Amino acid sequence: MRRPYPLFGARWTGILLMILGLSVAALATALLPQPAVAAQAPRPIAQTAAPNNEMCLACHAQQAMQVPLDSGETLSLYVNGEAFKTSAHGTKEIACVACHTDITAFPHPEKTAKSARQVTIQFSQTCSQCHSQEEKLTLESIHQMDIDGGNLNAAVCADCHNPHETRPVAEMTKADIAATCAQCHNAIYEAYKTSVHGSALIGEGNTDVATCTDCHGLHNIKNPTSTLFRNETPKLCAKCHTNAAIMDKYGLSTKVYSTYVADFHGATVTLFENTDPDQPTNKAVCTDCHGIHNISRVDDPSTGIALKKNLLTKCQKCHPGLNENFPDAWMGHYIASPTKHPIVYYINLFYQFLIPTVLGGMAIFVISDFTRRLIDRRKGKSHA
Ligand code: HEC
Ligand code: HEC
Ligand code: HEC
Ligand code: HEC
Ligand code: HEC
Ligand code: HEC
Ligand code: HEC
Ligand code: HEC
Ligand code: HEC
């Protein structure tokens, strides 16, 4: 049942526009047997042929056209016909009614959506007719789970793709993708924008860096606070950070993953990931030291973690009550060399020689002793 319209003015504007629209529609398509008369309710449009887009746009291309909703919101009914024609759908001559399958004539069937948000969610269900691949992926996404759980603000198709104006995705840049997410995740976007990744993308148009979907996936975005996601973070970062074709351009080490895995934190996380991916780890992963959306250059003078004081605060999250020298216990990603961590380097070197020498010496000793005894025994026998 419809509530009486609270917006008296809007209703009359709506009706006047409807009437105006009807006359234009009649002229454009000659579908109406006679022009609508003022102060009369719009007459039904007899449906002689499949409705074409011009017929719909005769009414809906009018900018001021709107209708009140039960929620008290006003729904704009305007569709930009020119933008539609040049959109990914318009250029393929997709009909309005291919998506709006329940509308074939005027008056339209009674609306069931009570709010603008319900309109967006309900109407987005039409996309699966032709894009079942994408729909299948979204069914497993955190956004869909949030919607199912009652959080209607989570994203559906029409939030990320304006259905009337969407362009081919090939025209979409990595920065456009971040801007799409920013509509609803603005605080994260603001942090990201100043990070080493975000500032390169948005400031310099550098597409080597990670945008939101490089880390979160696209239609099947998963819960990033899960154990599984946390355990897989090192591999996520390694995708780019072990790729020499990318990292050489920036003079960055490609050993950050292998040195991490060799480290006592990484060794444990990797073990967990392989044996029991759902087992939570309390050991540090990349983002515990580097940050998440606010990752900065390691030598950034204010936030860089190559500076001991900045690194210490990260270690203290898990090793409370540490003193300033604690980070020295960790070698970072550096491989010990005569210039970096020389003590570790020479101790390693020493062991590299010592162990083969001692063990080898022992082996030679044991073997020669054994041979000697064997020979002696033989000799003894033959003498006997
Ligand atoms: C005579 C003018 C007129 C024509 C022609 C017309 N519409 Fe509408 N349309 C309206 C009005 C008025 C509303 C708001 C009231 C209502 O929902 O009935 C509306 C609402 C809508 C809505 C929003 C909500 C809903 O489901 O009711 C959609 C979608 C829509 N029209 C699509 C179309 C399509 C597709 C066509 C072409 C097949 C079309 N319209 C032709 C006047 C028109
Ligand atoms: C690719 C599918 C698709 C096509 C093609 C399409 N629509 Fe829509 N339309 C939608 C979706 C989805 C919404 C809901 C958008 C929202 O509210 O976020 C919508 C909403 C609307 C509305 C309600 C107002 C609004 O913007 O929410 C009107 C009116 C409308 N469409 C008319 C048309 C007309 C006229 C055409 C043809 C020129 C058309 N549509 C073509 C999918 C489509
Ligand atoms: C959270 C935002 C978001 C949601 C929700 C979303 N998409 Fe997408 N979609 C994107 C982005 C961003 C791209 C472009 C990716 C690129 O440029 O590589 C894309 C790409 C596409 C493509 C191009 C082919 C492809 O798969 O890359 C289609 C078709 C598509 N989406 C349809 C849909 C449909 C249908 C739905 C709903 C079932 C949907 N999308 C939901 C953001 C979204
Ligand atoms: C009647 C079938 C049909 C429906 C329904 C439909 N689409 Fe499409 N869509 C197409 C066709 C055809 C193309 C052009 C495909 C191409 O160029 O490869 C397309 C292209 C797209 C693209 C650009 C893809 C690319 O690779 O550049 C996006 C994004 C998209 N649709 C989203 C949507 C969304 C969102 C909905 C629901 C609101 C929707 N579509 C409903 C048929 C449809
Ligand atoms: C229409 C608004 C909207 C858009 C657009 C949108 N999201 Fe969301 N997203 C939400 C809402 C609402 C939630 C659930 C509440 C929350 O945790 O923030 C959510 C949840 C998430 C979560 C899970 C958060 C958690 O703590 O579980 C991730 C990850 C996410 N979105 C990433 C993205 C990415 C990446 C994009 C762009 C491709 C995007 N979102 C676009 C509204 C949106
Ligand atoms: C370099 C990889 C990376 C990039 C780029 C990235 N994220 Fe994340 N994001 C993560 C990780 C890792 C987490 C999990 C954090 C945790 O452990 O709580 C996360 C968590 C989230 C969450 C849920 C937790 C929260 O803080 O609310 C949302 C929502 C989210 N990201 C959205 C986005 C959006 C939107 C963008 C783009 C502006 C983006 N992310 C870019 C890696 C990334
Ligand atoms: C899509 C590829 C990609 C992914 C995924 C990625 N990065 Fe990056 N990252 C880059 C590129 C490219 C740069 C260099 C940017 C520049 O210098 O302008 C960079 C720079 C950095 C820097 C700054 C190094 C310095 O001091 O200059 C850190 C730290 C970093 N990334 C950490 C991470 C972490 C942690 C993750 C995972 C959560 C991650 N990155 C995921 C591509 C990526
Ligand atoms: C996310 C939590 C976390 C962060 C952040 C973290 N660690 Fe650890 N670290 C651990 C856990 C858990 C262990 C294993 C402790 C155990 O098995 O007793 C560990 C073990 C160690 C050990 C081995 C000696 C010992 O106590 O067992 C050293 C050294 C160490 N961490 C140094 C650091 C340094 C330096 C930093 C900062 C750069 C740091 N950690 C940051 C969680 C963390
Ligand atoms: C326990 C803390 C910690 C963890 C865990 C950690 N890093 Fe680092 N990372 C640092 C510190 C400190 C530096 C700066 C000094 C150095 O290079 O060792 C650094 C430097 C870097 C750099 C800059 C390298 C260069 O060439 O200048 C990148 C990129 C990076 N880390 C990525 C990662 C990735 C990817 C992971 C996970 C696989 C990771 N880090 C795990 C602390 C950490």
Identify the weakest region by mean pLDDT among 101-110, 172-181, 245-254, 268-277.
Answer: 268-277
Rama region for 291: left / alpha / beta (φ>0; ψ in -120 to 50; rest)? left
Give the integer Cα–Cα distance in Å for 384 and 367. 26
Nearest partner of 61 among 45, 78, 75, 46, judged by Cα: 78
What sign has the CA pseudo-torsion 70, 71, 74, 78?
Answer: negative
Q: Which residues contact 381 (CB under 8 A, 6 or more apart)?
A: none
Binding site membership of 157 for ligand 3 (Cβ less than 6 Å): yes
In this structure, what are the phi and psi dihedrals at residue 349, rounded to the nearest 5 degrees?
-60, -45
pLDDT of 361 reads 81
Q: How far is the CA of 169 from the centre of ligand 2 (A)?
A: 19
Binding site membership of 311 for ligand 3 (Cβ less than 6 Å): no
pLDDT bucket at 339, cuts 50 / 70 / 90: low
Residue nearest to atom 30 of ligand 7 (CA): 295
Give the pLDDT confidence of 76-92 residue by residue, as tens digits: 999 999 999 999 999 99
Query: What number of other Cβ atoms are within 10 A of residue 18's Cβ?
Result: 19
Give the pLDDT confidence of 282-333 residue by residue, as tens digits: 889 999 999 999 999 999 999 999 998 899 999 999 988 877 777 676 667 8
Quick one: which ligand is closest to 286's CA?
9
Q: Is the pLDDT of residue 63 over 70?
A: yes
Give the pLDDT confidence of 231-270 residue by residue, as tens digits: 999 999 999 999 999 999 999 999 999 988 888 788 777 7
In this structure, what are the phi and psi dihedrals at residue 371, rounded to the nearest 5 degrees?
-60, -45
Binding site membership of 333 for ligand 9 (Cβ less than 6 Å): yes
Nearest partner of 85 among 167, 22, 173, judged by Cα: 167
Q: How far is the CA of 154 from the centre of ligand 7 (A)?
A: 28
Residue 107 preceded by cis peptide, ω within 30: yes
Q: How far is the CA of 228 from the centre of ligand 9 (A)?
A: 21
CA 92 to chain centre: 28
Cα separations in angstroms, 26 against 23, 36, 61, 106, 224: 5, 9, 15, 12, 54
Tokens of 51: 């409705």
Per-residue pLDDT averaged across 159-179, rounded? 96
Nearest partner of 97 among 142, 154, 52, judged by Cα: 52
Binding site membership of 197 for ligand 7 (Cβ less than 6 Å): yes
Give the integer Cα–Cα distance in Å for 233 and 65. 49
Rama region for 217: left / alpha / beta (φ>0; ψ in -120 to 50; rest)? left
